[in-house]
Amino acid sequence: MKRTALAAALAVALLSPAAADAEVRILACEPEWAALAEEIGGDDVVVHSATHGGQDAHHIRARPSLIAKVRRASVLFCSGADLEVGWLPVLLERGAGRILQPGQPGHIMAADHVEVLEHPTVLDRSLGDIHPDGNPHVHLDPRNVSILGEVLADRLSRIDPERASAYWQRLISFQARWAEAMAGWRARADALDGMKVFVHHKAWVYLLRWAGLERVSALERVSGVPPTASHLAEVLELARNSGAKAILRAPYDPENAAEWLSGKTGIPVVELPFTIGGHPEAADLFSLFDRTLALLEEANNRS
């Protein structure tokens, strides 16, 4: 009798959703938030990223596999500010449970929790790929990563209170390591202060502000639209005698305009990782900033 009761209890436990799926599942829209989720969640979470370092998060599809992942998720962690406007609403409508909907603890949009730059004064589709709520690429200021780590620990503790102490302990550990790393990065960035750069797309505003770099111009006159010959001619005039040290591009940006300007001026093209996996040596949040600064230092030190 006892053996039968034990077998029945085991069967119930195996069929229980809590037992079969003990970890909190997190779907991150971008690799940087997946990396942060792994730092704070540790072994208590299962993390998936909807995009990888070679993709532009503006332009992906709400694939069936993503819809399946969002159905099982307890946390949706994205950049927000309309970065994912082309596909995130589909995930929310077709797969996401109530806990992932706006206003619920499992719905985390990074841009809702930090200072957002470049709010447009005019909303006009002729201006290209503009974001009404400002520039969404907030992860490129390491101070924002620290803020979002605390937001995530709070949300995980509310969703999974039994393991709240583990989440907060991991946050404390991460914040200590991050503060130490930021102190070193700050010293390196100070040596770059005033470095002039061109950018392909206006995705670097947070990095430029934090590191003290000066953007001379963008190769895209209209964000998200390939540059015209007339605009590139204007950029070329600006580039001559500008003292710029680099033309910055992300791994997924088209190469032709940057290489053309480099060939005309001798200003090197520098492909920065932009996010986790955007460079072989950018494997986590710490190495993302280490590698980014190393590439900028190399360009700045060229004669």
Question: Final residue of a domain: which of 117, 145, 180?
Answer: 180
Judged against a pLDDT cut of 80, whether residue 231 lies above it is answered with yes
Residues 229 and 150 in one domain: no
Residues 166 and 22 in one domain: yes
- pLDDT for 303: 59
Residues 42 and 102 in one domain: yes
In a domain, 3, yes or no: no
CA dihedral sign, ordered 129, 139, 185, 255: negative
Residues 42 and 159 in one domain: yes
Judged against a pLDDT cut of 70, whether residue 67 lies above it is answered with yes
Judged against a pLDDT cut of 80, whether residue 8 lies above it is answered with no
Number of independent structural domains in the chain: 2
Closest CA to 167 of 38, 19, 49, 29: 38
Domain that holds residue 198: 192-301
Judged against a pLDDT cut of 70, whether residue 122 lies above it is answered with no
Question: Final residue of a domain: which of 180, 213, 244?
Answer: 180
pTM of the shown model: 0.89
- Enter the DSSP assignment of 274: -
Residues 24 and 66 in one domain: yes
In a domain, 34, yes or no: yes
- CA gap 95, 97 in Å, rounded: 7
Residues 172 and 274 in one domain: no
| CATH number of domain containing 143 | 3.40.50.1980
Residues 227 and 267 in one domain: yes
Question: Final residue of a domain: which of 151, 180, 209?
Answer: 180
